[in-house]
Every structure is written in structure tokens, then in C-alpha cells.
Structure 1
Amino acid sequence: MDVDGFWDLIERSGRETDTRDTRVAWLVDELSRRPVQQIIDYEIWWTKAQNRACTVDLFAAYRFVFCSGSLDGFEYFVNWLISLGREAFEAVSDCPDRLIELPQVHHVLELRRSYVRSAEIRPQDSERLWEESPEFELLAGVAYHAYEQVTGKNPDELGEAAYARGASSGFPLVPAIGAVPHGEQWDFDDEQELARRLPRIARHRRDQR
């Protein structure tokens, strides 16, 4: 499986399903019908995509747009960004400031505002919030489930196989052991630096005040 095949699967899974659970199941089923080598290939491309997005500036963009500084949340956000497809992912990975231009982001922010204004949150509202959250934790595990189904082996062996081919994930982020987003560190409280690095997001913040 090459990089085009990886993105084709990601994008087809979004087109052919209508919930996150069915999307994960679709990907697991699709990978389970392929040779083990392609499952490993998929995991390698997934890891490369995650690592490409694991940057200080994208973490800052996530923090300021969604008002969250969670490192776990950032990892799940990167998964969600991958789920949007190649064009959106590459645009934002290359220029984190473009995150605020994604229509999916504006949809999420408006959805949140509508629930803040709502007098009552119904169970179906909570379900929709989860379904359209800008974090997609479960998407990261599809290759492991497929690997276990096909081989009957411990799914951890998939990670070992990918690592043997040079794919080492930058996640999870654990500052205590030096695992942090890559790139030049900067002070997120510095408004001038924010405006220099992420001018679109800085303008969005000012407009929301």
C-alpha cells in the first residue's frame, strides 16, 4: 500500500459510513481482507501522518481554536484532522494557521455555541456532540484490530513490525520523558508571537471577544 492507497481508504471510509463507530468498523473490515503486509503499510502511513502533524504550531492552533491544552486531546485532534482527508490534512499540517479556515472547524464551533445557548441538553444532543467532536480517538486503532483478526497474534506486534521499518510514533506526548510536539517552542501567552505565527487564528480570537 502506498500513500495514495492509504488516503483513499481514509476518504472512502468517510464517504461510505455515517457514524464514527461504523467508520472504524468499515476500516477494520477493509484492512482485514488484505494481506498482512498491507495492514503494516497502513499503520506506517498512519504513523507518518500523525508525526507530520505533531508540531508546536499545530498544537497552539488546536489550543486556541478549541480552548483545550490537553496533550491527549491534541493526539485525538490529529486523528480527527486525518479523518477529514488528504487535502484538509496537508493544508493544515503545512500551515497550522489555516485550521480556522476549515468549514468543518466552523461547523464544530457553531455546534458548540448552539449548545451553550440551549436551555437543556438532551441525550441525542450529547451524542451529536461526541459524533462531531474535533477529536477521534478510536480511529488510531483500526490497523491493530485488523492485524489481530488476520494473524491471531498480539496486536502489539503490529507496532513492532512498523517500528522495524522505521515508523516510530511521536505520540503519546509525555513532557517528563521529552516527548513533546516538534518545532521551536514559544510562549503561548505572548500575544505578539501568536499574531506573528498564527495571524488568522489571532484575528479570530480578537473577533470572538
Structure 2
Amino acid sequence: MDVDGFWAMIERSAQETGTRAERLAWLEERLSVLPAEEIVDYKTWWTIAANRGCSWDMYAVYWALMGSGSSDGFEYFVRWLISLGREAFETVADCPDATIDLPQVQHVLELERSFLRGYRRVTWSKDGKFRLTRLTQHRREIWTREERPAFELMGYVTFEPYRKATGLETDSLGDAVRAWGVESKFPLPDVSRGA
């Protein structure tokens, strides 16, 4: 599988499914019929793409969007960016500031704004901290599972197909990717200290 085949599979999975669960199943099904070498190719291209998204500038975008930032959460954010497809990912990979212009990010920000507008009253607690009291209870979370700008499971779709194709555990998949000279940059070193 070449890079074009990798991105075609990512994009078709979005076009031919409606939910994230369906998308994961679609990808696993397509990968399961491929020989082990092509599953390794897919995982290698995935790792290369993820490495392009793994930068301190992209981490700053993630932190600003999410309001905090764990290394795992950042990795899942980059997986979400990859899941948006080649054009969107290529737009932001080398210029993380362009992430704000993605329609999907604009949608996420609008959801956040509308969620926060539901808060109407600020109160002070006995411990001296303020709390926002929500007067409207129509939505308990900012994003639904489908809207959340994180897609952890997208990074695992090769595991079961590889296991079926080779009879080996997923550790050997990582070894096969490293054999091609591709090492994952995740997690960022000590995100709490800014490296």
C-alpha cells in the first residue's frame, strides 16, 4: 500500500459510514482482507502521518482547543485530525495555526460557545472558588462522542487484522513498522514541563 492508498482508505471509511463505530468496523473489515505486508504499510503510513502532527505547535493548538492537555489526549487529537482526511490533515500538519480554519474545528468551537452560553450564574463556594451554575440542562457535555475532537480507537484498527493475518501479537506490528525505519514520536516528552 502506498501513501495514496492509505489516504484513500481513510477517506472512504468516512464517506461510507455514519458513525465512528461503523467507521472502525469498516476499516478493520477492509484491512482484514489484505496481506500482512499491506497492513504493516498502512500502519507505517499512519505513524508517518501522526509524526507530522506531533509537534509543539500542534500541541499548543490542542491545548487551546481543549483547555488542557495530556499526552494521550494530544495523540487522540492528532488521530482525529488524520481521520478528517488528507486535504484537511495536509493543511494543518505543516501549519498548525491553520487548524482553526478547518470547518470541523469551527463546528467544535461553536458547540463549545453554545454550551458555555447555557451557564448563567456565577456563585462563590465556601472554599473561595467560583462555580458556574447551569440554568439550562439541555446538554451535559460540550461534545457528543461523535463530535469530540479526539479519536483514540482510530489508531488501533490495524491490530486485529494484523493478528488474524500473522497469528502474532500487536507488538510485532510495531517491530515491523520500526524495521522500515519509522519510529513513533508519541508521546511528547514530559508535556507537563513543555520539554
TM-score range, shorter chain: 0.7 to 0.9
Alignment partner of 2:145 out of 104, 126, 130: 130
Give, in angstroms, the shift of residue 69 of structure 1: 2.1
Which residue in 2 is equivalent to 1:207?
A: none
Question: What SS does the aligned partner of 2:186 have?
Answer: coil
Question: Which residue type is aligned with residue 7 of structure 1?
Answer: W
Question: Which residue type is aligned with residue 164 of structure 1?
Answer: A
- 1-side partners of 2:59 and 2:173: how far apart? 27
The answer to which structure has the higher strand fraction is 2
Alignment partner of 1:145 out of 160, 163, 168: 160
Question: What SS does the aligned partner of 1:131 have?
Answer: coil
Question: What SS does the aligned partner of 2:21 have?
Answer: helix
Question: Which residue type is aligned with residue 21 of structure 1?
Answer: A
Which residue in 1 is equivalent to 2:55?
A: 55
The answer to which structure has the higher helix fraction is 1
User: Rg larger in 1 or in 2?
Assistant: 2
Which residue in 1 is equivalent to 2:80?
A: 80
TM-score by length of 1: 0.78
| Unaligned residue ranges in structure 1 (runs of 5+) | 186-209
- 1-side partners of 2:29 and 2:14: how far apart? 14
Provide, for residues 46-67 of structure 1, a one-character-per-residue CA deviation record: whole Å limited to 9, x for no partner: 0000111111111111212332
The change in CA–CA distance for 1:14 and 1:117 in structure 2 (over 3 A counts) is: same
Extract structure 1 runs of 4+ deviating beyond 4 A. Answer: 125-128
Is this contact kept in 2: 1:115–1:121, CA < 8 A? no
Which residue in 2 is equivalent to 1:199?
A: none
Superposition CA RMSD, Å: 2.1
Alignment partner of 2:169 out of 154, 163, 178: 154
TM-score by length of 2: 0.84
Is this contact kept in 1: 2:44–2:182, CA < 8 A? yes
Which residue in 2 is equivalent to 1:104?
A: 104
- 2-side partners of 1:146 and 1:121: how far apart? 41
Question: What SS does the aligned partner of 1:130 have?
Answer: coil
- 2-side partners of 1:150 and 1:63: how far apart? 38
Question: Which residue type is aligned with residue 137 of structure 2?
Answer: E
Question: What SS does the aligned partner of 2:145 have?
Answer: helix
| Unaligned residue ranges in structure 2 (runs of 5+) | 119-135
Give, in angstroms, the shift of residue 81 of structure 1: 0.3
Give, in angstroms, the shift of residue 121 of structure 1: 4.4
Residue 13 (structure 2) pairs with residue 13 (structure 1): yes
- 2-side partners of 1:51 and 1:145: how far apart? 23
The change in CA–CA distance for 1:168 and 1:136 in structure 2 (over 3 A counts) is: same
Which residue in 2 is equivalent to 1:169?
A: 184
Is this contact kept in 1: 2:72–2:187, CA < 8 A? yes
Is this contact kept in 1: 2:62–2:74, CA < 8 A? yes
Aligned residues: 177
- 2-side partners of 1:168 and 1:131: how far apart? 29
